[in-house]
Structures are given as structure tokens and as C-alpha cells.
């Protein structure tokens, strides 16, 4: 599985990362879970999919959201 393969991301992947890993993995978004919850309710951040009692995000959805922010900044 290469680094660009679609996968499911957890809240820890998005908001905390793994700073003690080798090499360190930093959070994908610069805000907290609570801010994400507010943004989801406002329609400003992709909603997670629920599997059991956990939330996951498709990596492709998050990548597309980040790209849309980059494109919005170019206008």
C-alpha cells in the first residue's frame, strides 16, 4: 500500500498525529475535534462515517477538502 492509497483516517490521525513516531506524523488539520464538530455542523468540514461507535474519514475526502481550501485561497 503506497502513501497515496485511499484509507480511513481516525480522529487521532486528523487532530493529534503521532509526534513521537519515527518519523513523526503531524496532525492533518490545525484545529481540535471540538472545532471540527462545529465546522461539520456548519457544513464547513466533511462529516465522518460511523463504523460501530467510532468516526472515520476517507483520506480522499480530506484531501479534496484541503485542495478546495488551497484553490479558494488562489482566487
| Distance in Å from the first CA to the final CA of the chain | 35
CA distance 35 to 7: 23
- Compute the mean pLDDT over every residue in the chain, rounded to the nearest whole number: 89
Length of the chain: 75
pLDDT in tens, 24-50: 888 889 999 999 999 999 999 999 999
CA distance 71 to 8: 24
State residue 4's pLDDT score.
66
Q: pTM score > 0.85 for this model?
A: no
Q: Kindly tell me if the per-residue pLDDT of 56 is higher than 80.
A: yes
State residue 3's pLDDT score.
59
1-17 residues labelled b (16+ CB within 10 A) or e (exposed): eeeeeeeebeeebbbee
Confidence of residue 1 (pLDDT cuts 50, 70, 90): very low
Amino acid at each position: 500500500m503506497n502513501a497515496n492509497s485511499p484509507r480511513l483516517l481516525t480522529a487521532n490521525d486528523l487532530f493529534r498525529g503521532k509526534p513521537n513516531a519515527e518519523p513523526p506524523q503531524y496532525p492533518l488539520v490545525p484545529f481540535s475535534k471540538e472545532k471540527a464538530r462545529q465546522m461539520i455542523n456548519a457544513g464547513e468540514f466533511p462529516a465522518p462515517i460511523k463504523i460501530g461507535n467510532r468516526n472515520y474519514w476517507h483520506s480522499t475526502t480530506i484531501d479534496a477538502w484541503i485542495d478546495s481550501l488551497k484553490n479558494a485561497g488562489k482566487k
